[in-house]
Amino acid sequence: MIRNLILSFAAALVLAVAPPASAEDGSGFPQIVGTWHGTYLVAFAKSNPNHGKGLLKTEMELEVTKLDGNLITATNRWRRIGDTEWIVEEAMGTFSLDDPTRFVLAEAGISGDDVSAGIFNGVYLDDVIMITYAGPGTGVAFAAQLVKKDKSE
């Protein structure tokens, strides 16, 4: 019991003196600049013209191009497995100030007929980005696990 009390005090002391994540200098936020890749199944609401196609297997590349403190600039490219053309969408986001492993990106489509605007909720954990996506205007939703692409790929 005494040992647990001492450990609790030690943990509290470490937290008290550790510098908080600072949005101004970018410290405390994961350095996720790079290209992240993964595949996922995407689902469509009944009102979406793609609904009749059922669940579609898709791949994406999330390229985080810039971090300014807690602010994130990114480009999302995605395509259905077997397609050759990428759909390109731009996104801006922010890391959470109370949990610097979590972030949100707001996306707007810029190319192709099949673009949408939506929100990514993400978490960076153990060198993996896990995201969920909701496109409320078009009724699109998915979850994906992304790993960083090797620069040689």
Q: Report the distance separating Cα 69 and Cα 66, nearest Å.
A: 10
Pick the CATH number of 2-148 from 3.30.420.40, 3.60.15.10, 2.40.128.120, 1.10.3210.10: 2.40.128.120
The model carries a pTM of 0.76
Contacts 24+ apart (CB under 8 A), 47-56: 47/139, 48/138, 48/139, 48/140, 50/114, 51/139, 56/80
94-128 b/e with 16+ CB inside 10 Å = b? bbeeeebeebbbebebeeeeebbebbbbbebeeee
* Cβ neighbourhood burial of 23 (10 Å; 0-12, 13-18, 19+): middle
34-63 pLDDT per residue, tens: 999 999 998 888 887 777 777 889 999 999
Query: What are the structural domain ranges in the chain?
Result: 2-148
pLDDT of residue 114: 57
Task: Decide if 94 contacts 103 (C-beta within 8 A).
Answer: yes
- Assess whether pLDDT exceeds 50 at residue 17: no
121-148 pLDDT per residue, tens: 999 999 999 999 998 777 888 999 999 9
* Cβ neighbourhood burial of 80 (10 Å; 0-12, 13-18, 19+): middle
63-107 pLDDT per residue, tens: 999 999 999 999 999 998 999 999 888 999 999 999 999 999 998
Task: Decide if 103 contacts 67 (C-beta within 8 A).
Answer: no
More confident residue, 23 or 11: 23
Of the pLDDT bands very low, low, confident and very high (cuts 50, 70, 90), residue 108 is confident
Q: Report the distance separating Cα 58 and Cα 27, nearest Å.
A: 34
How many alpha carbons lie under 13 Å from residue 43 in its C-beta half-sphere? 9
Distance of CA 115 to the CA centre of its chain: 18
